[in-house]
Amino acid sequence: MIKFFRKIRQKMLTENKFSKYLLYAIGEIILVVIGILIALSINNWNENRKESNLELEILSGLYNDIANNKIKIDNLISRDSIIITGNQHILSLLKDNNSTFNDSLQFSFGNINRYQIFFPQQMAYETLKSKGLHSIKNDSLRKQIIELYDETYLVNSHIRDLKSEVYSNTYNMLNKRLFTTKDIDHKIPNNYNDLKGDTEFLNTLSHITAENENFQNYSYMMLEKTITVITEIDKEIKRLKK
């Protein structure tokens, strides 16, 4: 097309038809500009498509990771509930002067200071950070995801340390008073009745129970935020796929 215009332009010049030449020259310029604009438009469309595909890929990865985190937190809460309930039951029994030990209590005594931990899956979040946080265009959703990982899950890492500290600080005291059976999760008091007047044991058990209840309250909050982010990611994925 450009060669065609060039031939016409040369003909106009040789025939001294300057006005017509000018019109053709302008037409040639317009054609070139239109071609450039079309090329830029196609390039922008390709770039937008790549960005959209990347966003969908990252969101899908985040959805899977956070959905798995929800399952882990559910298990965490379930396990901690068993320990808390067992500790509360032991405390209640030890306050009863007429209570006696039975083998059904072995599991509760064996798990007094045991704890469950939660390690969030964050491979997709690390990918998001490496690609750029603004790969997610939805400002509100991006903020929720960042807060979930960099705040909510980060505090959970400190709770893991606190749980470990509680276990370490109480291990020796409990080990002196409880005999471990063949199953490490089952223990028998050396003297059940002595525990009823053992202030150190009772205070420690009460403290562990209170700490676990506080940890579990945070787990419930963490679960709620996790569910909220999963829901919002699912909505965004469906919107982008339309």
How would residue 241 be classed by pLDDT, with cut points 50, 70 and 90?
Answer: confident
Average pLDDT, the chain: 87
Q: Give percent of the chain with pLDDT exceeding 90.
A: 74
Encoded tokens for 42: 């196609």
How would residue 47 be classed by pLDDT, with cut points 50, 70 and 90?
Answer: low
In the predicted structure, residue 29 carries a pLDDT above the cut 70: no
**What value does the mean pLDDT take over residues 162-167?**
95
How would residue 14 be classed by pLDDT, with cut points 50, 70 and 90?
Answer: low
Distance from C-alpha of 126 to C-alpha of 135, rounded to nearest angstrom: 12
Q: Shortest CA distance to 125 belongs to which of 147, 155, 158?
A: 147
Residue 153 exposed, middle or buried by CB count within 10 Å (0-12, 13-18, 19+): buried
Condensed to tens digits (0 to 9), the pLDDT of residues 94-145 reads 999 999 999 999 999 999 999 999 999 999 999 999 999 999 999 999 999 9
Question: Would you state the pLDDT for residue 242?
Answer: 79
Please tell me which residue, 18 or 139, carries the higher pLDDT value: 139
Q: Give percent of the chain with pLDDT exceeding 70.
A: 79
Condensed to tens digits (0 to 9), the pLDDT of residues 170-201 reads 999 999 999 999 888 999 999 999 999 999 99
Helical spans, DSSP H, in 15-152: 18-94, 106-110, 123-131, 139-147
Q: What pTM does this model have?
A: 0.80
Query: Residue 84: what residue type?
Result: I
Distance from C-alpha of 146 to C-alpha of 128, rounded to nearest angstrom: 10
